[in-house]
Chain A
Amino acid sequence: DAGITQSPRHKVTETGTPVTLRCHQTENHRYMYWYRQDPGHGLRLIHYSYGVKDTDKGEVSDGYSVSRSKTEDFLLTLESATSSQTSVYFCAISEADSSYEQYFGPGTRLTVT
């Protein structure tokens, strides 16, 4: 998985609790992305980062926040988890000017009860 790890790999949490997912890369790629994957919707972009402390919203950013304090780490936080955020979350990375060559992590399966 191109030097990308995600933690945790599985998590079950209750509605209303905060959750943080971590993406760690060893490739020194500038760009990092968070997606969610749901049946019938495919992969949808939540947030992305184009450098340390530089982030922007994607298609489905409501209810999510991100932070990137180091090149190698990109955190996704659900401030107050809801059942609609039950999904598989993927982190991806890419080098400059090549968004089509995104490399994905193994995913985190999150269940909100």
Chain B
Amino acid sequence: QKEVEQDPGPLSVPEGAIVSLNCTYSNSAFQYFMWYRQYSRKGPELLMYTYSSGNKEDGRFTAQVDKSSKYISLFIRDSQPSDSATYLCAMSAIGGATNKLIFGTGTLLAVQP
């Protein structure tokens, strides 16, 4: 079993829809939870990170962490065609720079105009 599981999609939604992207994990030591966005043939870019449990909002994006269920989510409101990309979740046990990030396989999202 992988430490981090992510539905690969693809997920296709109409413009303006609310999108929900999810990851589950098995390592209860994870404390930092990240979402990266990757456009086709580009490197991943950090969207948001959350420490421990709770919600974090940034514009149209909301990240949620439920440590009791070992489940994290990224919600995108009012989705736009420019949101079409692969979304990767990532996690680490502690925040030190030598601590390794564990990535999900990514979910491919297509927002149809």
Interchain CA distance A4-B46 in the complex, whole Å: 15
- A window 63-108: CB within 8 A of B: 90, 92, 94-107
Selected from A42, A96, A99, the residue in CB contact (under 8 A) with B100 is A99
- What's the dominant secondary structure at chain B's contact region? loop
Interface residue count on the B side (C-beta < 8 Å) = 26
- What's the dominant secondary structure at chain A's contact region? loop
Across-interface contacts of B104 in A (CB, < 8 A): 42
Please name 23 pairs of A and B residues whose Cβ atoms are closer than 8 Å in the assembled complex, sorted by A: A31-B97, A42-B4, A42-B104, A42-B105, A43-B101, A43-B103, A45-B100, A48-B100, A50-B97, A56-B98, A90-B43, A99-B92, A99-B99, A99-B100, A100-B32, A100-B34, A100-B46, A100-B49, A100-B90, A100-B95, A104-B45, A106-B42, A107-B43
